Amino acid sequence: MVREHKGKAPTPVTSSSPQQPDDKDFAIREIMKSRIRTFNPFRRSRIPEWNINIAYLCGFQDISFDGTNLYVNKNTSPFRTSVNKILPAVRNDVAMGTKVPPKFDIVPDTTDENDRQTVVAGEKMSGYLRRINDFDKQRGKVIIWYDIANIAWRKQYWDAKYKVIGNNPEPGEEEHKPE
């Protein structure tokens, strides 16, 4: 029902009694809240590392972190001393992850005619839903987020003063083992 006032746009009439959630909805909400409360400390502890990884991904390899803030170190040399190897790796991950779209097999549960018609409708809807929800773009975002959250294995810190001590015997020496 719509009320009309002269000179004003119609306004919808709301019900005077709000719908009360049942016990099942309330229980589900409480479970969700408890899961969020337990996840928040974990998420907060990871946010600094995510910010560092985003800075690395954007090309800021010369950064320092004091526990709460990120600072870009001023490079006094006119030549850049770091090379962004992370961005090409993340681009490669996104390209490999989105190159071949996943295939969905929609199969009927039984040989009933209604199930067959449901499969036909499901096949038509799956393509439509992939297009309107921008499924491939969302897959790319998931891959980027995965790399931001777990990129630590790609970071290598270089110290010019660090000495590498090792023994790499030449072929023909006693200690040389090709395997």
What letters, b where the CB count within 10 A reaches 16 and e where it falls short, cover 77-107?
A: eeeeeeeeebeeebeebbeebbeeeeeeeee
Task: Give the start-to-end residue ranges of the domains of the chain.
Answer: 22-82, 85-155
- pTM of this prediction? 0.52
Average pLDDT, the chain: 76
Please report where in the chains the tokens 């005619």 appear, as a residue: 113
pLDDT tens string 66-83: 877 777 777 656 665 666
Lowest mean pLDDT among 110-114, 119-123, 147-151, 175-179: 175-179
Q: What angle do CA 60, 63, 65 make, to 5 degrees?
A: 135
pLDDT at 1: 46
Measured CA to CA, the distance from residue 57 to residue 89 in angstroms comes to 10
Highest mean pLDDT among 7-11, 133-137, 147-151: 133-137
| 3-state SS, residue 175 | coil
| pLDDT tens per residue, range 109-128 | 888 898 889 999 998 898 88
What number is the average pLDDT over the span 9-26? 63
* Helix (H), strand (E) at residue 35: helix 23-57
Q: How many residues does the chain have?
A: 179
CA distances, 165 to each of 58, 162, 168, 169 (Å):
33, 10, 10, 13
pLDDT in tens, 19-58: 666 788 888 888 888 888 888 887 788 888 888 888 888 8
Residue 8 has pLDDT above 60, yes or no: no
Count of CB atoms situated within 10 Å of the CB of 25? 10
